[in-house]
Structure 1
Amino acid sequence: MGWLHTSRRRWSAIALTALTAGTVAAVAPTAPALAAGPTDHVLYWNDVLLRTFRQVGGAPGPLARAGAMVHGAIYDAANSALCADGADRCIGQPYRTKVTPTAGVSPDLATAIDYAAYDTLRSIWPSISFAADLTTAQQDIPASAARTDGQRMGSASAQAMISFRTNDGSPDTSTYADGTVAGQWRRTGSGEPATPSWGLLRPFAMTSTTQFRPGLPGGYATYAQLLASQTYANQVNEVRGLGASNSTTRTADQTQAAWFWANDLDGTYKPPGQLFAHTQVVAKSAKLTQAGNARLFALVGIAMGDAAIVAWDAKYQTAIDLWRPETAIHEPQDDNNAATTPDPNWKPLSANTSGVNFSPPFPAYVSGHATFAAAWAGAMKGFFGTDAFRFVGGTEDPHAVGVSRSFTGFGAAATENARSRVYLGVHYQFDADSGMSAGTSLANHVTGNFLRPSVPAYTFDGFYEGSAYLGTSYPDAVSGGNFLVTFKLTANGTPVTDLNAVVGVSWNGQPAASSGPVAFTNGRYEVRVYTGKSCGPGGQTLSVLLRDGSSRNLRVTCTIV
């Protein structure tokens, strides 16, 4: 068990007292203090990105492409800046480039991130000015050789990304003719077909646009075979009941989930933006460093960039471009299936702010929401090494203002996201299932082959409290208390002393709980954990994420006093 205490002990919260300084002589500053810039520059530019999503709107593919470009460039810039201080300080494998350092200069990490984001953003949206955002980000960074070299590295990383995406198939200005046979997609009154050739875009990580293409809906090769099947009838009848605007079988919670995950309307951060926002929630909960965030957001961005390609390939580039449920239920043509009944008055729950019901203007199979969600969940799981991370997420859909929902893990969130499209009345369940399967396979490919940690694996000596070895369990903490744990790291037998070797720390994956900052004292890393009132006999988990991509967990059982 590794538990060496011979008696049970109770730990109560340590009172925090303010230290008052004695009177000292005032010293006039020689220069005005600089205004405070962002604490974490990766999160700052992700906020700028989401603001831009709200501003430009449109189909999710171009937004996902932008996210992959911005965060891929940020990652390369941050990695180049950190690698300049030694190979053991790198975040991981380069994505597009590793910029050669200037001898004798330790480049400023924040500046490298800033210019990578700034240059990439203005290349994507040249009509939008991001100058004020750059000024805000740089406002407390004084001029120096480090800042100059950080700018050089950031701009070079951005240029590598811009060159990589030049002539990649974006923008998509192709056209698409409405379907002429039963089952084939046609306009539903919500707009022109959106980005019909997006599935042909050059991938970010895939070896081809069809690498993770799912099978055809229900496994049927033609529209006639699909529409005549019981599988099709079951799919249509389920969404007919659950997804109707006036459904009597959809529960209040299902309705809330439908709106929570929608974000289809311009003015919201759209589906990729919601998943980036949830990434922020988790990153803040885990207290990730800027380096940790650079890698996490790049993995998420690249996975979602390719998820759009996977989904749109299945929507437009296969033998079946499936019509939306509202068209299927209206049945303007005979589907030759006695198990379905036409209803020309049926409307999906999905609606704009004026209450006009609509379906997104592209084929149903597969679900883009589901593909994005699974790719996101897989990238998150790959980074954290676990799916069991509790978090509370939000939404910007105008039908769910102020709504938040709690999730026990990334997979649970993705599954609900995918299912929500049936409740919204715009997808069949096999759209969701196939999107989830394809997105998961894609994410596993991304996390298994890209941005892998490049430092030697760390040897971890276990958690200690004082001189007492805790191993992997602490069975006698107190609810609402705190305790200090320590540990050592070595790499190939050499002690690791770099504070940035610890990428993040989380307590049971819950934003409401907390741990103190990581410190390094007398050869050991230190973390103070505040258990919170929610800690009880059932136990919770302290997770320490390391730069080599591994994590170490301490199971804490609390006694309520």
Structure 2
Amino acid sequence: MRSIKMRSLVASAAAALSISGVAAVVSPTPAYAIAVPPCDSHVDYWTDVLLTIFRKQTGEAGAPTRLTRAAAMMYLAMYDTDISLGTPGTPYIAKVAKTDNATYIPTSNFDAAATTALHNAFPSFDLSGYQSTAAKSCFNGEPGPDGFSSQLGLTAAQNVINARANDGSNNTTAYSPQSNVAGQWRPTEGKAAVSPNWGSVKPFGIGTSTQFRPPLPGGFSSMSALLTSKAYADQVNEVKAAGSATATPDQRTADQTTAAYFWANDVDGTYKPPGQLLKITQEYSKANPGSNRIKLFALLSMAMADSAIAAWDAKFDTIIDLWRPDSAIEESQSDNNALTTPSPAWTPLSADAAGNHFSPPFPAYISGHATFAGAWAGVMKRYYGTDAATFTATTEDIHASGVTRTFTSFSAAAQEDALSRLWLGVHYRWDADYGLSTGDSVANYVFGNRLR
């Protein structure tokens, strides 16, 4: 990506701005538009916009599946725009041809690419005005999209949109949980399954959704063999102790409790789990830009989007849609395992803003958090050529306000992210372990085969 000096937003959206000595008035943002974040660079500006949109999403619209898809579309549109503007590299879809005698302003094209992709992914949000806001307020006063000046970005984004048409993301076929079968997932807190068909969505970078499908939990080939095993009992009893809302310090340390909430970001109003990883990437790559930050975000978002598809395939599209720990612990009288004991009053540490304990509305195996973390660390260590990296991360979880945590490697952060779900009481250890390995496998493939 070209290095273009940015300047900060110095007035509100309704204030008059001086652009190249000419007074201009920016219209008030539309009713459903998001607030304009501070402007540092193209990728930072649009990452801030993207995370603001993430915070606004609720229910199915805020599922990590849909958020990672949107992120990949935006960053890949920006990446192909960068390649079309002249940065050396292999495009994701295609290099857009320039028109003779046309002027192509980089800022306008990045602006157009991001806005077009986001409008497609979030059609209910009015993003009109963000092209001019970005170009005029953030990017040295260069003019906004005008004719061919933004055509590369518009076309690059439309290419990505066309590639995602009929990708299966709009499949609303209802999921019928087998709530009468021990071990199979059943809704907790009465919430229906979220994104139950996502395992059939067309991937961005890997070949198929099943390409890196993990083995069934514990390697067992049937639910009966799984439930009656010592390995299963060990998994259940571990989370029963370490993930309980009432766990004692010898069962879950104070630091593990902090980490559990730090990585959660499960409630509305946060940037959600994918957003936290994008924010960490944004902050780390500002100080350590590497060769091309747009390419980094393109690879990362592609791997995370495909990790969501792989994780949801494992959750919903195998013979075992594993129940959450709260169901396993409350109903263990039905597992025919003498090593587990039912505790009907047990609740996980995980809680919403009102303090109500809950589990996310989809099967346990594998962990989405862990799969995203594995993909994130996998891309980061390959992009930077080392796993050794010292950085401090932040969170938006309501139970960890103001908390920061410092790590000395990408893998260490990913490992803690994965295990945090055990301490939160919503996953078993094998959900975390196989999630990490699945995410890393996706990252390895994407990094080695895409955008080369």
State whether TM-score is above 0.5.
Answer: yes
- The answer on whether the counterparts of 2:332 and 2:340 sit within 8 Å (CA) in structure 1 is no
Partner of residue 392, structure 1? 392
Q: How does 1:109-188 map to 2 (within 5 A)?
A: 109-139=106-136, 140-143=140-143, 148-179=147-178, 180-188=180-188
What is the deviation of 1:288? Answer: 5.4
Q: For residues 311 and 253 of structure 1, what CA distance do their matches in structure 2 show?
A: 28
Q: For residues 397 and 246 of structure 1, what CA distance do their matches in structure 2 show?
A: 20
Three-state SS of the structure 2 residue aligned to 1:262 is coil
For 2:165, give the aligned amino acid: T
What is the deviation of 1:149? Answer: 3.9
For 1:372, give the aligned amino acid: F
Q: For residues 445 and 377 of structure 2, what CA distance do their matches in structure 1 show?
A: 13
Q: How does 1:250-329 map to 2 (within 5 A)?
A: 250-287=252-289, 292-329=292-329
Partner of residue 32, structure 1? 22
What is the deviation of 1:38? Answer: 3.3
Partner of residue 15, structure 2? none
**1:66 lines up with 2:66 in the alignment:** no
- The answer on whether the counterparts of 2:108 and 2:131 sit within 8 Å (CA) in structure 1 is no
What is the deviation of 1:432? Answer: 0.6
What is the deviation of 1:141? Answer: 3.9
Q: For residues 80 and 65 of structure 2, what CA distance do their matches in structure 1 show?
A: 23
Three-state SS of the structure 2 residue aligned to 1:357 is coil
Three-state SS of the structure 2 residue aligned to 1:392 is strand
Three-state SS of the structure 1 residue aligned to 2:263 is helix
Q: For residues 138 and 333 of structure 1, what CA distance do their matches in structure 2 show?
A: 62
| Structure with the higher fraction of residues in strand conformation | 1
The TM-score normalised by the length of structure 1 is: 0.71
- The answer on whether the counterparts of 1:169 and 1:198 sit within 8 Å (CA) in structure 2 is yes
What is the deviation of 1:233? Answer: 0.5
Distance change in 2, residues 1:443/1:30 (3 Å): closer
Three-state SS of the structure 2 residue aligned to 1:97 is coil
Partner of residue 515, structure 1? none
Three-state SS of the structure 2 residue aligned to 1:408 is strand
What is the deviation of 1:397? Answer: 0.6
Gaps of 5+ in 2: 1-18, 27-37
What is the deviation of 1:32? Answer: 2.6
The TM-score normalised by the length of structure 2 is: 0.88
Three-state SS of the structure 1 residue aligned to 2:282 is helix
**1:221 lines up with 2:221 in the alignment:** yes
For 2:158, give the aligned amino acid: Q
Q: For residues 391 and 130 of structure 2, what CA distance do their matches in structure 1 show?
A: 29
Three-state SS of the structure 2 residue aligned to 1:107 is coil
Q: For residues 190 and 357 of structure 2, what CA distance do their matches in structure 1 show?
A: 9
Partner of residue 54, structure 2? 53
What is the deviation of 1:104? Answer: 5.2
For 1:202, give the aligned amino acid: K
What is the deviation of 1:155? Answer: 0.1
Distance change in 2, residues 1:148/1:283 (3 Å): farther
Three-state SS of the structure 2 residue aligned to 1:232 is helix
Between Structure 1 and Structure 2, whose CA radius of gyration is higher?
A: 1
- The answer on whether the counterparts of 2:132 and 2:143 sit within 8 Å (CA) in structure 1 is no
For 1:262, give the aligned amino acid: A
Q: How does 1:353-364 map to 2 (within 5 A)?
A: 353-364=353-364
Residues 417-442 of structure 1: CA distance to partner in whole angstroms, max 9, x if unpaired? 00000000000000011111111010
Gaps of 5+ in 1: 1-28, 84-88, 453-561
Q: How does 1:457-536 map to 2 (within 5 A)?
A: none
For 2:214, give the aligned amino acid: P
More displaced stretch, 46-55 vs 332-341: 332-341
What is the deviation of 1:112? Answer: 1.5
Three-state SS of the structure 2 residue aligned to 1:389 is strand
Q: For residues 92 and 325 of structure 2, what CA distance do their matches in structure 1 show?
A: 40
Partner of residue 43, structure 1? 44
Q: For residues 220 and 279 of structure 1, what CA distance do their matches in structure 2 show?
A: 37
Q: For residues 195 and 21 of structure 2, what CA distance do their matches in structure 1 show?
A: 53
Three-state SS of the structure 2 residue aligned to 1:194 is coil
Q: For residues 289 and 385 of structure 2, what CA distance do their matches in structure 1 show?
A: 16
What is the deviation of 1:332? Answer: 5.9
Distance change in 2, residues 1:190/1:266 (3 Å): farther
Distance change in 2, residues 1:125/1:107 (3 Å): same
- The answer on whether the counterparts of 1:74 and 1:116 sit within 8 Å (CA) in structure 2 is yes
Q: For residues 376 and 33 of structure 1, what CA distance do their matches in structure 2 show?
A: 44
- The answer on whether the counterparts of 2:290 and 2:384 sit within 8 Å (CA) in structure 1 is no
For 2:431, give the aligned amino acid: D
What is the deviation of 1:170? Answer: 1.4
What is the deviation of 1:266? Answer: 1.2
Partner of residue 75, structure 1? 79
Residues 256-292 of structure 1: CA distance to partner in whole angstroms, max 9, x if unpaired? 0000000111111111100100111111111457xx2
